[in-house]
Structure 1
Amino acid sequence: MHLFNHHHRKPDGHAVRRTQGTVVSSPAWLYDLMVRWFVYHGKEQKLRHLTADLAQLQPGEMVLDVGCGTGTIALVAKQRVGAAGRVCGIDPSPQLLAGAQRKAKHARLPIDFQLGGIEHLPFPNQSFDVVLSTFVMHHLPDDLKRQGLAEIARVLKPEGRLLVVDFKHPEGYQDRHGQFSGELDIQDLPALMKEAGFSQTESGETPLRVRMSPTGHLHSGFVLARKSQSPCEKEKESRE
């Protein structure tokens, strides 16, 4: 979730290998402070467990947190999947990843945090049972959303799950602060997910409300989708 002190990578030099989207430049401690009170309003613990519940995380599963920030969700995911499971986190911000690594070390939880962007996930095909994306998509223009969703589909196992939690666009809201690079309404995501090979989408609201002005709040919602099986995968499953 990148709501402040951010900049956009330009398509040149080493930045291309990380991301062409938004990158947080704030220190991890400041990011956590702002998110905890400005975004979660002191309900961080409740909402991160809600995210794990929505993703239906099970012991032994392999989980990827895309745009993991300081690892808040990844820590809960690792607790849910246990010793038999694996959790990886990826983020383009070195500052936030350093904070995530400190948290994991303090909690004595083995989590693999890597520097990178959603459009180039450094993992083999069909590596994960679940991919999580919390408050990342609103920073991405539609072309980058498409690239990211295609990469997520690539690294997910057949029938793997993708959970996206992000803002919903309230009627009449205008982004006067320039915080959002892409389309704000999460309800538009299922169409892009279908293009990327996802099906069985389920959506709803979450209790999170974010004050963006003295008179207005942003609501949030979720979309849960499954990666569709290819005809070859379906045939192989029927034979087994």
Structure 2
Amino acid sequence: MHSFTHHRHSSGGETPAKETKGLVVNSGWCYDLGEWFHDTFSFHGTFRTLRQRTINLAYLQPGETVLDVGCGTGTLALEAARRVGSTGRVAGVDPGTQQITRARAKAARRNISVEFQVGVIEQLPFPDQTFDVVFSTLMMHHLPAPLKRQGLAEIARALKPGGRLVIADFKHKQERAGLSARFHAGGSRTQELEDLLKEAGFDRVGTEELRPPRFSAFPGASIVRAYKC
């Protein structure tokens, strides 16, 4: 998930199994507060729209197994758990210890079962062919190109044959205009993601765009859905 405040070094009660070369977001409840502030006053609710569209494109079914890579404070994973129901399984991994602590607290308050754990995209702590669906939301732009390639290969390993991957990320900075050009977060080029997905063994790659509302600082986003061969 995108950071509104961030730093690279983790603190707290857990230590990641492996150091990541990507950016680490580790701000816990401050992340949720920043997300609410930006979505309410800068994005005009578009962030919530993006999350809902992302999860809708996965066509989750009761009983399915789901992984959210870079789950942040767990908002999308909690919604996925509601959709797959008590017969399903949802896991979320993030390198930020405070993000995972916050996600677990939110799940406990809502009495929703999600397996949140500290983990990195380049070494997912799950056996081969575990999941029906994997999500990656607003985090690919945190990764250098070699790590994107490595992470997508790990996701492909963890997905079942025919499993679905849904990636959402901000538009690349050079593709923005107007107020959205001032937003500080990075983004991804859609064609680059499509090429990396095909290289990692995905097919039936489809994309759609979520454009910024008028007078919004939302930078625009692309959603990419693909299936493991």
TM-score where L is the length of structure 2 = 0.85
Q: Which residue of 2 aligns with 1:137?
A: 140
Do residues 220 (structure 1) and 221 (structure 2) align?
yes
Aligned length: 219
Q: Which amino acid aligns with 2:175?
A: E
Tell me the alpha carbon deviations over residues 83-129 of structure 1, each in whole angstroms, 9 at most, x when there is no partner.
Answer: 11100000000111111001111111110001011000000000000
For the residues of structure 2 that align with 1:154 and 1:172, how far apart are their CA atoms?
A: 34
Tell me how far apart the structure 1 counterparts of residues 210 and 57 of structure 2 sit (CA, whole Å). Answer: 10
2:126 counterpart of 1:123: yes
Kept in 2: contact 1:126–1:157 (CA 8 A)? yes
Partner Cα separation in structure 2 for residue 210 and residue 157 of structure 1: 40
Gaps of 5+ in 2: 10-14
Give the aligned residue type for 1:227.
K
Find the aligned partners of 2:96 and 2:206 in 1 and give their Cα distance: 30
Q: Which runs of 5+ in 1 are unaligned?
A: 229-240
2:206 matched to which residue of 1?
202
**1:74-153 correspondence runs (5 A):** 74-153=77-156
Aligned equivalents of 2:65 and 2:26: distance in 1?
29
Shift in Å, 1:148: 0.3
SS in structure 2 of the partner of residue 224 of structure 1:
strand
Per-residue deviation, 1:210? 11
- The equivalent position to 1:192 in structure 2, one of 196, 200, 217, is 196
* 2:136 is equivalent to residue 165 of structure 1: no
- Determine if contact 1:48/1:72 at 8 Å carries over to the other structure: no
> How is 1:29-48 mapped onto 2 (pairs within 5 angstroms)?
29-39=29-39, 41-42=44-45, 45-48=48-51
Shift of 1:179: 4.3
**Relative contact order (alpha carbons < 8 A, sep ≥ 6): 1 or 2 greater?**
2
The structure richer in strand per residue is: 1
TM-score by length of 1: 0.81
The one-letter code matched in structure 2 to 1:90 is V
SS in structure 2 of the partner of residue 162 of structure 1? strand
CA RMSD, Structure 1 to Structure 2 (Å):
2.7
Query: What is the Cα deviation at residue 48 of structure 1?
Result: 2.9
Change (3 A) 1:34 1:160: same
Q: Give secondary structure in 1 for the equivalent of 2:124.
A: coil
- Report the Cα offset of residue 188 of structure 1: 1.9
- The secondary structure found in structure 1 opposite 2:112 is coil
Partner in structure 1 of residue 71 of structure 2: 68
Q: Aligned letter for 1:171?
A: E
